[in-house]
Amino acid sequence: MRRPICLSLLCCSLLSLSTLASLPTRADDTPRPIPLPAWQTLEFEQQAYFVTARSQLAIAPDSADPARWQLTANSSVASNSEDVVLELAPADGRALRRSRLSKGKEQRYKTYDFLPDYILRVRHDPPADTALPPARWPVSSRKKITYPALEPGVVVTDAYALVLLAERFGRSTEASAEVAVNTEFNFYRVRMSHTDGPPLKVDYQLAGAGAISGSRQTRGVALQVSPLGEQREKPDFSLLGLNGDITVLFDADSGLPLQLRGTAPRIGSTEINLKAAKLRNPAE
């Protein structure tokens, strides 16, 4: 049964990247805090050829440094999964630190420190005693990854952060915005622009409100993805399993990301739909 969403929980509107960077300070010169998005967790799902792909995103202030945000992501398909923890700057989504635990036929744990002049990538491989936490696995390699040439104001971030940044951009009046995404050794330019959103049938669970279904008006943000600088590896850009250019459709009223449209390997054109969401306490 369709139930109304409490819109008061969804009014944490976010401004565009450039607007946020120039927010005025208060009388005591203390910068205004950047509001967290209205959602606390999101769960997406895609089914194709008897295989289900799932992704969960969550964002909160970093427990060790409230001036940072921490975005956690888990994605799985068949027997493969990855867990990503991204520390980012609230004002522009710039990546500060990232860890990625990959599980499949093999396990790998990698950390990435986004330093001023380069990214320090450290790889850990599991020992015989896999009871040890990944951060204590032996280091198998350390590499410095040089940043590509960037236009002024363009920040480097992770693909998962695009869900957050696209939502922020969609609420702005800017014609376009650009960020750079680092994968492993490659970088990609992602240009965001506004696009018309079609009416969309939804069916997801909202924590505290139950099933949400029916038709929703949407607004779209198009993500145009292109290689940036020298590509040291084969193409590896991916957002929730989608490659290449992607369109994110947001609920025109609540701002929740309802669907991502793009291309998936071995499937072709496809959609990934919102299956569950938890909203943030407005006091946060």
Per-residue pLDDT of the chain (284 residues; tens, 9 = 90+): 444 444 333 333 333 344 434 444 444 555 677 889 999 999 999 887 777 889 999 999 988 888 899 999 999 987 789 999 999 999 999 999 999 999 988 899 999 999 999 999 999 999 987 788 999 999 999 999 999 999 999 999 999 999 999 999 999 999 999 999 999 999 999 999 999 999 999 999 999 999 999 999 999 999 999 999 999 999 999 999 999 999 999 999 999 999 999 998 878 899 999 999 999 987 66
Q: Which residues contact 282 (CB under 8 A, 6 or more apart)?
A: 8, 9, 11, 12
Question: Is 48 inside a domain boundary?
Answer: yes
SS3 138: coil
Question: Is 45 inside a domain boundary?
Answer: yes
- The reported pTM is 0.86
Output phi, psi for 10, to 5 deg. -110, 15
Question: Is 1 inside a domain boundary?
Answer: no
Alpha carbon distance 64, 169 (integer Å): 28
The whole domain housing 255 covers 7-21+36-279
Question: Is 27 inside a domain boundary?
Answer: no
Radius of gyration for the alpha carbons in the chain, expressed in angstroms and rounded: 19
Question: Is 2 inside a domain boundary?
Answer: no
Question: Is 88 inside a domain boundary?
Answer: yes
- Count of the separate structural domains present in the chain: 1
Question: Is 138 inside a domain boundary?
Answer: yes
Question: Is 258 inside a domain boundary?
Answer: yes
